[in-house]
């Protein structure tokens, strides 16, 4: 059967629905009853000929159903998300030597349709991937969904329900969301429309459905594309895609993305990226999944999308260093399926440059699809710094201070950065943050000494210095009587405190909270000074140049020097060592990795390297006798580039630093 008849049928369905709208709702018919009846008879003949009847066909829809609530349904095959990237290089690596499909990433709400014996039995939303809501009643109000198809076996398709951008611009002027405000984007309006209880209201929203995957059906076909090619004969308009015939170069992938993007723009289709997926179904299944996404596909996002919101207030919170950090609190917006209502504002300079004031309309994004960020202020003007910064610390009430410091931009240019400070060392919030850091997993690792517990113990006057943690048994009787405590809870906490007495050079140095000293810097210092705290301290006093260590710059060098100039810091440094035991590094441990290809090299990691956490991959690098760096510089020898690579990749290219994929690194390191 020629595809042309399906196109005619869909067009005639759309045309007759428009005439019905004019006749019943606008009282302004553009055709006579005779013309309408003739076209209706023609549509009936087509439906009989093709065996396809669209859910919104005027031959079937006498009325539009209404339900009292949306029932839930389980997805036997979970409808998970895909991993995301903004780098075409990631797509090249993902492709490997397999045939792939490049497909539009439609911007709407994922919907699943289930057919039995040629009839639509259920339509549901994706929901959380495991359970969605049944929206079968609304299929009459959504174009592109057949109610009857000639395929009699079980068929399950997934696709996207969306509103074309052109239609959304017309609708947004007269529709309001549940808060009585205009819809911010077509995705939100489509998602809300599909989940309406009244199908007649859904019909007015001009929602379309386009399938992008056959979940069940046509079991004899081995490729995803082959299954999709069957759908037009069932009345569907499938999502635009391309299939590779050989391994694609990066330029070819980027060219394909550009073509798909142009197609979407010319056909008024809302997209927020392009999806690459393996075409072979058996291979796709073999790739498995995580709890969040299947591993047989990757979504290429064009850019960090921006969403309009309104700044409600700026919160100020003292940190353990004394800096008072500003946080934007704004009207919630949904980004990548998550509700976002807070974002760091970094410092005063950032606020001043955006001229941010409560009440301003702002643009918010998720940078690299992870970190919420305020991108722009749409209501500049009327900025007054004195009206937004607290003159007293929000915690202790002591006067605040504006500090101006030097920093460098990405292009190495100097700039002045202004921050707000509380100089009161006894500030409760500041002290609490310091204790939380000290007891944290990367520092002394005292299990059970949470922020809430520390707040209670500090409030009771039991803790004034870090050393007091190891003398808490003096207050055992009082602690047992505290809310949330008892004999067992106390004993568990005390056992964890005793266990933390045996620690390492790295943990001790991190616990001291020397600015910018973390896992990597602590590991480098341990290696340089043989795990000897005394040798490290003596080196400071003797003018040791820390910039000679991998990944140590002038700022970190100065931080170490300044920290040891503070008498209170020295007191804690010395006194705490009397209460703990620093593990001695076995002599043979120093030789680990000396015969490795990477011994003595500085290796930086960007992106996700499965199955390792960031700390895990750094430990692996260290075990090879190499140094795991945190930033790319001229001292870097290799960059390992995993999924969702960041700006470090561009920096490595600029400096001509060798870039390794995780597979290349594991092979050279002889890691299984």
Strands 208-216 and 271-278: unpaired
Q: How far is CA 544 from the centre of its chain?
A: 42
Listed residue (46, 379, 88) closest to 251, CA to CA = 88
Token pair 């109610």 in the structure block, residue: 147
Token pair 């940190």 in the structure block, residue: 319
CB 300 within 8 A of CB 271: no
Listed residue (198, 193, 129, 199) closest to 161, CA to CA = 193
CB 420 within 8 A of CB 399: no
Range list of β-strands (E), 71-207: 72-74, 81-85, 100-106, 109-116, 119-125, 131-133, 146-148, 155-162
Q: What is the 3-state secondary structure (H, E, C) of 21-86?
A: HHHHCCCCCCCCHHHHHHHHHHHHHHHHHHCCEECCCCCCCCCCCECCCCCEEECCCCCCEEEEEC
Distance CA 460, CA 255 (A): 65
**Residue 108, both tokens:** 């709407």
Kindly state the DSSP code that residue 325 receives in the 8-state scheme.
E
**Residue 521, both tokens:** 């810097």
**Residue 486, both tokens:** 């008892």
What are the angstrom distances between the C-alpha of 576 and each of 435, 467, 473, 506, 572?
A: 14, 6, 17, 15, 6
Distance CA 76, CA 407 (A): 54
Distance CA 648, CA 662 (A): 15
Distance CA 560, CA 553 (A): 11
User: Of 44, 69, 84, 105, which one is the catalytic site residue?
Assistant: 105
Alpha helix segments (H runs only) across 229-364: 250-266, 281-286, 348-354
3-class secondary-structure state, position 394:
coil
Q: What is the 3-state secondary structure (H, E, C) of 202-241?
A: HHCCCCEEEEEEEEECCCCCCEHHHHHCCHHHHCCCCCCE
Number of H helices, E strands in the chain: 22, 26
Distance CA 73, CA 125 (A): 9
**Residue 571, both tokens:** 């007191």
Question: Is 608 tagged catalytic?
Answer: no
3-class secondary-structure state, position 624:
coil
Listed residue (98, 95, 71) closest to 85, CA to CA = 95
User: Angle, to 10 degrees, between the axis of helix 88-95 and the axis of helix 250-266?
Assistant: 120
Active site residues: 105
């Amino acid at each position: 059967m020629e595809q042309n008849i399906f196109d005619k049928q869909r067009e005639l369905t759309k045309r007759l629905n428009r005439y019905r709208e004019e006749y019943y709702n606008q009282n302004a018919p553009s055709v006579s009853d005779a013309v309408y009846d003739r076209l209706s008879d023609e549509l009936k003949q087509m439906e009989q000929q093709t065996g396809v009847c669209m859910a919104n066909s005027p031959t079937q829809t006498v009325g539009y159903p209404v339900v009292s609530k949306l029932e839930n349904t389980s997805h036997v095959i979970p409808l998970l998300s895909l991993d995301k990237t903004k780098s075409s290089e990631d797509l090249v690596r993902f492709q490997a030597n397999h045939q792939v499909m490049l497909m539009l990433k439609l911007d709407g709400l994922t919907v699943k349709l289930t057919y039995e014996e040629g009839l639509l039995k259920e339509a549901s939303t994706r929901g959380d991937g495991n359970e969605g809501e049944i929206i079968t009643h609304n299929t009459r109000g959504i174009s592109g969904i057949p109610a009857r198809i000639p395929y009699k076996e079980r068929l399950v398709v997934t696709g996207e329900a969306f509103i074309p951008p052109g239609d959304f611009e017309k609708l947004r002027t007269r529709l309001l969301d549940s808060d009585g405000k205009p819809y911010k984007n077509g995705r939100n309006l489509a998602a809300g429309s599909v989940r309406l209880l009244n199908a007649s209201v859904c019909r007015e929203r001009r929602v379309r459905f386009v399938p992008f995957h056959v979940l069940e059906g046509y079991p004899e076909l081995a490729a995803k594309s082959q299954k999709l090619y069957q759908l037009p004969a069932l009345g569907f308009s499938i999502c635009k895609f391309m299939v590779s015939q050989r391994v694609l170069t990066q330029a070819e992938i980027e060219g394909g993305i550009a073509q798909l993007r142009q197609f979407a723009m010319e056909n008024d289709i809302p997209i927020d990226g392009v999806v690459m997926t393996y075409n072979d179904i058996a291979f796709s299944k073999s790739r498995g999944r995580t709890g969040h996404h299947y591993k047989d596909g990757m979504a290429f996002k064009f850019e960090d999308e921006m969403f309009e919101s309104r700044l409600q207030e700026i919160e100020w919170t003292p940190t353990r260093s004394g800096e008072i950090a500003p946080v934007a609190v704004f009207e919630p917006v949904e980004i990548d399926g998550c509700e976002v209502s807070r974002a760091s504002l970094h410092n005063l300079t950032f606020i001043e440059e955006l001229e941010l004031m409560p009440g301003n309309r702002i643009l918010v994004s998720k940078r690299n699809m992870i970190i919420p960020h305020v991108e722009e202020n749409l209501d500049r003007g009327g900025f007054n710094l004195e009206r937004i910064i607290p003159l007293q610390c929000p915690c202790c009430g002591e006067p605040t201070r504006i500090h101006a410091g030097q920093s460098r931009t990405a292009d190495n240019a100097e700039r002045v950065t202004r921050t707000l400070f509380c100089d009161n060392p006894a500030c409760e919030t500041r002290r609490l943050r310091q204790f939380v850091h000290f007891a944290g997993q990367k520092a002394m690792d005292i299990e059970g000494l949470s922020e809430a517990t520390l707040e209670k113990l500090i409030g009771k006057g039991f803790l004034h210095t870090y050393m007091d943690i190891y003398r808490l048994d003096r207050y055992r009787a009082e602690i047992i009587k505290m809310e949330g405590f008892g004999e067992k809870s106390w004993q568990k906490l005390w056992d964890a405190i005793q266990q933390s007495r045996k620690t390492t050079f790295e943990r001790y140095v991190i616990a001291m909270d020397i600015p910018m000293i973390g896992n990597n810097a602590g590991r480098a210092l341990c290696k340089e000074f043989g795990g000897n705290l005394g040798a490290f301290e003596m080196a400071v006093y003797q003018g040791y140049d820390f910039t000679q260590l991998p990944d140590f710059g002038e700022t970190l060098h100065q931080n170490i020097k300044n920290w040891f100039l503070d008498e209170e810091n020295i007191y804690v440094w010395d006194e705490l060592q009397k209460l703990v035991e620093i593990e001695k590094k076995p002599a043979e441990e120093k030789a680990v990795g000396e015969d490795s290809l990477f011994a003595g090299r500085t290796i930086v990691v960007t992106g996700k390297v499965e199955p390792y956490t960031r700390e895990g991959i750094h430990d692996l690098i260290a075990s090879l006798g190499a140094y795991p760096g945190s930033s790319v510089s001229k001292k870097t020898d290799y960059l390992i580039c995993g999924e969702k690579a960041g700006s470090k990749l561009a920096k490595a290219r600029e400096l001509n630093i060798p870039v390794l994929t995780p597979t290349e690194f594991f092979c050279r390191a002889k890691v299984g």
